Every structure is written in structure tokens, then in C-alpha cells.
Amino acid sequence: MADATEVKTPKVPRSPLLSRPGAVPAEGVDEGVAAHYGDIFREQAALADGTGLVDLSHRGVITVTGSDRLAWLHLLITQHVTDLPPGQATEALILSANGHIEYGLSLVDDGETVWVHVEPGTQGALIDYLESMKFFYRVEVADRTGDIALVHLPAGSLAPAPDGVVVVRETPYGRDLFLPRADLEAYATEHGPLAGMLAYEALRVEAHRPRVGFETDHRTIPHELGLIGTAVHLQKGCYRGQETVARVQNLGKPPRRLVFLHLDGSEVHLPGPGTPLTLAKDGDGGRQLGFVTTSARHYELGPIALALVKRNVPVDAELLAGNTAAAQETVVEP
């Protein structure tokens, strides 16, 4: 199986909202929806105030049905879901045998079906894996990306879920609506304003929320990103990669940790993903201590980023992201 942390180009319909005035298409993994609609900071401020919506219709949508769906998923993922109440949102991971993150799942059960959304383009490989693990369990797995679109409403939004909505995931960061793709344009018209992926990502970075394929590489373990207790339940039965999770939790420390960076606002260009981090006192030719994973321009905080650094990097160390000065805030304790 291909490395699931390698972000793939989605093969989903181009969003009709890209025809809206001012819409600028996103690139890379988020291709197919808008990067912004003409005013990045206004869009961020609207989301922060609980208004507007984000088109996430490029994300993969998977359903799991059948009487064994929760018991079966419980065996495969890092989350405890055997008694998951209908309507309760949760997060989960699928790990490799060595405990490295392969997939991130955002899921909710409606009483008959588990609805999952995943990173764009990863649903095909994930479904292949799930199909290979069905054995004698009474479950059916389906790719619903072609007919179901995801819309994000920010925390505090008063916009209603439409009558035709399939299911809603209620989280501390807002609501994820699974609605028929054919209804996307009409819903956006009624409940805008629209905000693009750049605004959504800036608020994600501000909230220190890691994204699989962005804050992960081929060797990332959950402890490095602070996902123990949120996406990883420590009091549940066996699943693939559990040995690594338990060993690091009980006997050791992860080799890296997630940090939040305040970047020098005088620089014209943001340091992109993969930009090396060094100690400021050593200059940009110093020993690499980590790398930027996501950077963004925030409407209030200015340039910010998430990054992975070696665990033993002092929490008060001044860093350079390439040539850009970076002050760190602790997300995961060393």
C-alpha cells in the first residue's frame, strides 16, 4: 500500500463555488475548492466571528454500514467507538504496524451509518485497506465522495442545517455538514459569506490543530502531535500500532514535538512546508532542528506556522525558519 501520509491530488468534481466572483482556486491537495474569494483577512475574521462557511467538498467521504460497523471499526482505529452515541463526533487514526500515522478519520454515527471524512484523495487507498479487513464482519464500506459534499460552519454559527442534510458533526471548532453535492451551491447562496481554504487553514494553525499529510510524514507517531486523548484512546483493546503507542506513553518520549511559531512579519514570503529550522544564534547554516509543516498569514497574529522540532530543542530557543526569525510556543511538552 502507498504511504498514506503522502497527500494525493483529489479526483472529485470541481466545486461549483469556484464560479463565484473573486474565487481563486486552491492548489495542491486542496485543488478543487477555493483558496480565497478575494479578501483573505475578511474571510478569516468572518469565520472567527462565527459567520460564513467553508467549502470542503474536495474531502473524501466514506460510509460504513451494517450491524457490526462500530465493533469492527473499533478493532482497526485508535479511538474507542463500540458505544459511540449517535450524533457524537470523534476523531481517530489508522496507524502502521510500527505506530506511524497513516490516515486521520473525522467521524460520526447517525444510528445506522458511520460517516467519515478524510484528506482529499486518500479515500480510495483507505477503502482498499478497510475492505481487506472485513473478514466475517457484517459491514459495507462505500465511497460517497461523488455524491456527498462537506461544508464547514465555524463555531458560533447560527446557520441552520438544511432539510436535506445527511448528518452533522458538531465539534468545538464548528459543524461539519454532510449534504448532497447537488445542494451545495444553493446552500452556499443562502448561508454565505464564503471563506476559502487560506482562511480555514490560518485558523487551524492558530488553534494548533495538526492535519494529516501536513504535520505528518512517514515516521510521525501520535504523541508528537498531541493526539493522545483526542484521536487516540489509551484504554481500549488491540489495534495495529498499539504497541508503539503504549511503549512511548509508558516508557519514553517521542523523538519530535509540535510547536507553534510566530514569524517575523517583515518578511515578504512565508517559509513553506519543509523549510528547515535552526537556532537563531547559529544562523541559517546551523544544524537543522526541525522543519515547518504549515505556514499562514493570520488576520490578527500576522505570519504564523506549525512545525516539528526535535524533542530536546529548548522551549525558549529563538529559531530561524530559513531566513525568517521564529519565536516558538509549546504545543507538545518536551
Q: Average pLDDT over the chain, rounded to whole?
A: 94
Q: How confident is the model at residue 192 (pLDDT cuts 50, 70, 90)?
A: confident
User: 125 and 20, same structural domain?
Assistant: no
Asked if residue 242 belongs to a domain, the reply is: no
Residue 5 has pLDDT above 50, yes or no: no
Q: So what's the pLDDT on residue 11?
A: 59
Rounded to an integer, what distance in angstroms lies between the CA atom of residue 95 and that of residue 78?
8
Q: So what's the pLDDT on residue 10?
A: 43
Q: Which distant-in-sequence residues (6+ apart) come within 8 Å of 16 by Cβ? A: 184, 185
Report helix, strand or coil for 150.
Answer: strand
Domain boundary among 97, 121, 143: 143
Asked if residue 1 belongs to a domain, the reply is: no
Residue 229 has pLDDT above 60, yes or no: yes
Q: So what's the pLDDT on residue 206?
A: 98
User: 52 and 153, same structural domain?
Assistant: yes
Whole-number percent of the chain with pLDDT over 70: 96
Mean pLDDT across the stretch 304-311? 98
User: 159 and 43, same structural domain?
Assistant: yes
Q: How many other CB atoms are found less than 10 A from the CB of residue 82?
A: 12
pTM surpassing 0.85?
yes
The answer to whether 123 touches 143, Cβ cutoff 8 Å, is yes
- 146/285: higher pLDDT: 146
User: 152 and 92, same structural domain?
Assistant: no
Domain boundary among 93, 121, 143: 143
Residue-number span of the structural domain to which 317 is assigned: 255-333
Rounded to an integer, what distance in angstroms lies between the CA atom of residue 85 and that of residue 77?
17
Q: What b/e sequence results for 170-205 when a residue is b if at least 16 CB atoms lie within 10 Å of its CB, and e otherwise?
A: eeeebbbbbbebebbbebbeebbebbbbbbbbbbbb
